[in-house]
Amino acid sequence: MKKLLLLNLLLLSFGIQSQSLLIPEKVFDGEKLFSNWIVIVEGNKINYTGPLNRSPIKTINDTIYLKGMTLMPGIIEGHSHLLLHPYNETSWNDQVLKESSAERAIRATNYAKRSLLAGVTTMRDLGAEGAGYTDVYLKKTIDEGIIPGPRLLVAGPAIVATGAYGPKGFHDGVTVPLGAETVSGIDEAIRTVRRQIGNGSDFIKVYADYRWKPGETAQPTFLQNELEVMVDAAESAGRYVVAHASTPEGIRRAVLAGVETIEHGDLGTLKEFNLMKEHDVAFCPTLAAGEAVEQYGGWIKGKDPVPKRIVQKKASFNEALQSGVEIIFGGDVGVFSHGENYREMELMVEYGMTPLAVLQSATSINARVFHLDRLGHIKKGFLADLIAVQGDPTKDISRVKLVKFVMKDGEIYLREP
C-alpha cells in the first residue's frame, strides 16, 4: 500500500491526469518493444504512450499495475468462423445439415466471449458456413452491447461456383443446405455480391478453387472474368474481396482479379507468392487448421511421421517467407477451439517466423491490411483495445496464452493480478 501511495504521489508530481493509467513491465506498440513506458487511456481512446516523465496528462482516476506483463494492442484474428466448432466434436457436414442457425448462434455467443477473454479484440469472420447472415446479426448484438465479443468484420455467406461446394453425396432429387452461396456467370456474380453487401457483409469471400468431388484434389472454380467482376462490384461499393485459394492456378486467377488476401495457399509456390507480393496481396496461411485436421485423423505430433499435407504446408510457407509477401495472422479458428488462437502464432514461429514478426502480423499488419485505421497500434488517438500477457512474447511467443488483462474500446473485460 505504501508503494502504491508513493507511486501515485510521484505521478501527481509529474502533473499526470487521466481516467486510466496502465503501468506494465514492457509495451509492445504493434511494431517495437519498449521498457519503462506507461499508457494512459481516456474514454475509449489512448491519450498517451511513452515515458512517464513526458506525459502531459494531469488527472488519474484509475491506476492499473501490470507487474511482469507486456502490454500490447488487442489481437486481430484474420481468419475465423464463429459459427463453426471443432470437427472432432461434430463434422462440418453435420454442423451444416443438423445444427440450426439458432443453435449455432447460441454457440457463437459463447465463442465470442471466449475469444475476447483470450485477448482477441477484433476478428475477421470468413463465412457463416451454411448459417446465412447469422454472423451479421452476431456482429450487431456485439456492437449494441447485448453480448461481449470482439469487433467483427463479417463476410456473410461465402460465394462458390455452382456445383463446387458441399455438403455433397446426395442424389439429385434431394435438396440440401449448402455451406455457401452458389453463382454462375457474370450477371449472377455481380448480383450476388451486391445482395450480400446490402445484407450487411463487410467484405466478400470467394472460393477460387475447391474439390469438385469428395476426395479429389482441388481445381479452379470461377473463370477469370467472373472473379474480376465480383472484385469490381465489391470495390465500387467500398468493399473488398478475399479468396480461398490453395492451388497455383486458383491463386493466380484470384491475384490477377484483384483480391486483397489469399487464404490457405497450401500448394502455392515461390512463383505465386512473388506474384502476390507484386500485386500487394497478403497471405493468410491458416497453419493451425491444417495441423488440427491431421490430428483429428489420428496423427500424433512429435511421435508419428509428419503427414504429407504438413510437409507440403511447411514447404509452401517457407517459400512465402522467401518471397517477402505480407503474411497476416489467421488460424481458421473454428476448425479448432475458439479462444486458442495462439496456436496459429506458435506454428508461425515453428515454421520459420520470429516472435516479433508474428506479433506485428497479429496487430499492426492485420490492422493495415483490413483497413482498420485506429487499431493495431498503441498510439495517441487510437482506440483503446489493449491486452496484457505475462512475460515477454517477443522472446517467447507462447506467452500470448497468458492473457491477464483485456480492454476493448476503453472497457475492461479481464483484470487479473
**What pLDDT shows up at residue 334?**
98
Provide the 3-class DSSP secondary structure of residue 284: strand
Measure the CA–CA gap between 79 and 288, rounded to whole angstroms.
11
Q: Which domains does the chain have, with CATH numbers?
A: 2-73+377-415 (2.30.40.10), 75-369 (3.20.20.140)
Distance of CA 226 to the CA centre of its chain: 27
Q: Are 386 and 360 in contact (CB under 8 A)?
A: no
Q: What pLDDT is stored for residue 386 in this prediction?
A: 98
Place of cell 507462447: 398
What local confidence, expressed as pLDDT, does residue 60 receive?
A: 77
Q: What is the pLDDT of residue 4?
A: 40
Q: Residues 310, 294: contact at Cβ < 8 Å?
A: yes
- If residue 308 lies in a helix (H) or strand (E), which one and from where to where? helix 308-323
What's the CA gap between 261 and 240, in Å, rounded? 9
pLDDT score, position 349: 98
pLDDT number for residue 9: 41
Element (H, E) at 122: strand 120-125
* Averaged pLDDT score across all residues of the chain: 94
Percentage of the chain exceeding pLDDT 70: 95
193 close to 234: Cβ distance less than 8 angstroms? yes
pLDDT reported for residue 271? 98
> Given this model, what pLDDT does residue 57 score?
74
Residue 295's nearest CA partner among 258, 253, 343 is 343
pLDDT by residue (tens digit) across 358-400?
999 999 999 999 999 999 999 999 999 999 999 999 999 999 9
Question: What's the pLDDT tens digit per position in 101-112?
Answer: 999 999 999 999
Q: How far apart are CA 285 and CA 347, in angstroms?
A: 10
Nearest to 245 by CA among 352, 152, 161, 367: 161
φ/ψ (deg, to 5) at 406: -135, 125
Please tell me the predicted confidence (pLDDT) of residue 88: 96
Looking at residue 138, its pLDDT comes to: 98
Report residues of the chain scoring pLDDT below 70: 1-18, 58
